[in-house]
Chain A
Amino acid sequence: DTEVTQTPKHLVMGMTNKKSLKCEQHMGHRAMYWYKQKAKKPPELMFVYSYEKLSINESVPSRFSPECPNSSLLNLHLHALQPEDSALYLCASSQEPDGNSPLHFGNGTRLTVT
């Protein structure tokens, strides 16, 4: 079982909807991440939060908006998505934002945009 919890597990939304993905960890990790994974592809980094501050935005379109309310929570707000945004969205955390801390992943949210 993963120690990073993501909700919902599945989400179907229309292109005009607004929805949010949620991620929670209670391991005291100080870095949290959002990744996007298309079928049979590696995860692609979207955002990194380090000590609750956004440290990396990999040129993600503004229809994706991250939020880190506190050190345990990470949200991804979705608005006006496109069908090509359908993917598995993975949240991860690491003890520190430095290079040698392994990432702990949640099981993801399977997003379908119709």
Chain B
Amino acid sequence: AQSVAQPEDQVNVAEGNPLTVKCTYSVSGNPYLFWYVQYPNRGLQFLLKYITGDNLVKGSYGFEAEFNKSQTSFHLKKPSALVGDSALYFCAVRARTGANNLFFGTGTRLTVIP
């Protein structure tokens, strides 16, 4: 069975400071990992994905994420937060074989304080 955990419902960070949104996963074999962002009353927007190769993945809007196989984590990071980054962030995992539905974490609401 596959699952995704986002341990923090809410993350607050001051504008200009680095931000981290945490994600851990459980899946058989090597996973495909994704981050999505959702603004109010909008659909989800794809930010970045890890498929294979370099553990540090760079994505849209200056976001990046680091795949850590030993810790089964895929934390989302940004060096300097913007007020406009305030949104709901979802981590998602997909198995490479078998039933490979995309499973979403419960989401983390990021608030960047001016």
**B-contacting residues of A (Cβ < 8 Å)?**
2, 4, 6, 40-43, 45, 48, 56, 58, 90, 92, 98-100, 102-108, 110
Interface size classification for chain B: 20 to 34
A-B contact count (CB 8 A): 55
Contact of A99 with B32 at beta-carbon distance under 8 Å, contacts A42-B106, A56-B101 already known: yes
* B90 at the binding interface (Cβ < 8 Å): yes
Which secondary structure dominates where chain A touches chain B?
loop
**Which chain B residues border A4 with CB–CB below 8 Å?**
43
**A-contacting residues of B (Cβ < 8 Å)?**
32, 34, 36, 41-46, 49, 51, 90, 94-96, 100-102, 104-107
**Which chain A residues border B45 with CB–CB below 8 Å?**
2, 105
Q: Is the CB of B104 within 8 A of A99?
A: no
CA distance in complex: A113, B19 (Å): 39
Please tell me which one of the listed residues A100, A102, A110 contacts residue B46 in the complex, with CB atoms under 8 A apart. Answer: A102
Q: Is the CB of B107 within 8 A of A42?
A: yes
Q: Is the CB of A100 within 8 A of B43?
A: no
Contact of A43 with B34 at beta-carbon distance under 8 Å, contacts A99-B95, A99-B100, A102-B49 already known: no
Chain B residue nearest to A4 (CB atoms) is B43
